[in-house]
Every structure is written in structure tokens, then in C-alpha cells.
């Protein structure tokens, strides 16, 4: 399947999800399994057929983690589903995907609702390089929105940062949800 870099062998990397520790590390440390997977299945907001095929494997791996350890992996899946909700299913995304792979992806997104609910109940693990607690909770809530067909709301929750930041680092609340949505659209357009 096509990945961000053509067709490198993603299957062996995905197989390691079930045998290796699922560690996230700050960018200053050596690449992790997550880095290897992420660089192949998601690049600058672009999804690939391999992305859709990989998500069920990622969700299967998330299931083996304690709820307090799931947040970084759930955030990865939320970002993928946010872009999927945003972009839809253009022909280049569906290239080589069979109906059973698409069904497995949709089933995996539905399964994340239970995983996200358990994670919310357990509280998220605070890591030195983790996002804010508010952003983590918004990400977990995004799965409920996605599962109910509310892609726009899921997208906004998965990419939660409803603040403008001044040059000296002061966070200022945006005027409203429309302004937040507009800022995300502009950020997305600049990254393409």
C-alpha cells in the first residue's frame, strides 16, 4: 500500500506494535516505533491508503496499554480521523483499499470510543512533553463526535487549541468557535 514515501514495507513495522513497548519520546531522543509508523502513514496532513490499513493495528496495540498510558496513541488516531473527516475519501486515499479494510478502519474508530472513555475515567498520564490536559480531554471527546458522525466537531476537538498567542507567549481566548475553526483552516492551508 502507498505510504508517505511510496511503498516502503509497513507490515513489519506494524507487526512490532504487538511485541515492542509502545513508548513515546520527546523529539530530542532517538526515533521510536511511533515515529517509524507516523512518518509512513501521515505527512503534513496527508492520509494514504496505508494510513487507513494501519489504524486497526494501532487500535489493537492501544488495547494492550493501561488507560493512563494510551493518550499519545489515541492522539495519533484522533489526528488521522480528524483529517479523514476533513478530507473525506478522495480516490487517491481509496487506491488499493478493499471494502474489508475500510470496514476494519471504521470498526477501529468505533472501538476508540471505549478506549477513550476508559482513558478519561483513569485520567491522562502527564508526560513532560505532553499536550495540555485541556487538549487531551478534547482529543478523547473527539472520538465520541466521530462515532456519532459529527466529523466537524471531532476535527475541532482533535485539534483543540482555541487560543491566540501573543509574541510574548500570553494565551488569549479566541472570540468564538468560528474564529477557532478559521485559524485551523488557515494553518492547514499553510502546511500543504
Maximum average pLDDT range among 63-72, 98-107, 174-183? 98-107
pLDDT confidence of residue 100: 96
Judged by DSSP in three states, 156 sits in helix
Give the DSSP H/E element, type plus range, for residue 47.
Answer: strand 46-47
> 190 is written with which cell numbers?
499553510
pLDDT confidence of residue 128: 42
Every domain of the chain and the residues it spans: 11-160
Judged by DSSP in three states, 96 sits in coil
pLDDT at 69 over 70: yes
> 130 is written with which cell numbers?
505532553
- The answer to whether the predicted template modeling score (pTM) of the entire model surpasses 0.75 is yes
Amino acid at each position: 500500500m502507498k505510504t508517505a514515501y511510496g511503498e516502503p514495507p509497513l507490515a513489519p513495522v506494524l507487526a512490532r506494535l504487538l511485541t515492542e513497548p509502545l513508548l513515546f519520546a520527546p523529539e530530542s531522543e532517538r526515533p521510536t516505533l511511533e515515529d517509524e509508523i507516523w512518518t509512513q502513514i501521515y505527512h503534513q496532513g496527508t492520509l494514504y491508503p496505508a494510513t487507513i490499513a494501519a489504524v486497526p493495528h494501532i487500535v489493537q496495540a492501544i488495547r494492550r496499554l493501561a488507560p493512563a498510558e494510551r493518550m499519545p496513541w489515541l492522539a495519533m488516531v484522533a489526528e488521522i480521523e480528524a483529517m479523514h473527516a476533513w478530507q473525506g475519501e478522495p480516490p487517491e486515499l481509496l487506491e488499493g483499499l478493499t471494502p474489508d479494510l475500510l470496514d476494519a478502519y471504521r470498526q477501529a474508530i468505533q472501538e476508540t470510543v471505549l478506549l477513550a472513555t476508559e482513558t478519561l475515567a483513569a485520567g491522562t498520564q502527564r508526560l513532560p512533553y505532553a499536550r495540555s490536559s485541556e487538549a487531551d480531554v478534547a482529543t478523547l471527546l473527539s472520538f465520541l463526535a466521530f462515532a456519532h458522525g459529527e466529523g466537524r466537531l471531532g476535527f475541532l476537538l482533535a485539534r483543540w487549541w482555541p487560543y491566540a498567542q501573543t509574541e510574548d507567549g500570553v494565551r488569549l481566548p479566541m472570540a468564538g468557535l468560528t474564529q477557532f475553526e478559521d485559524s485551523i483552516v488557515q494553518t492547514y492551508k499553510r502546511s500543504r
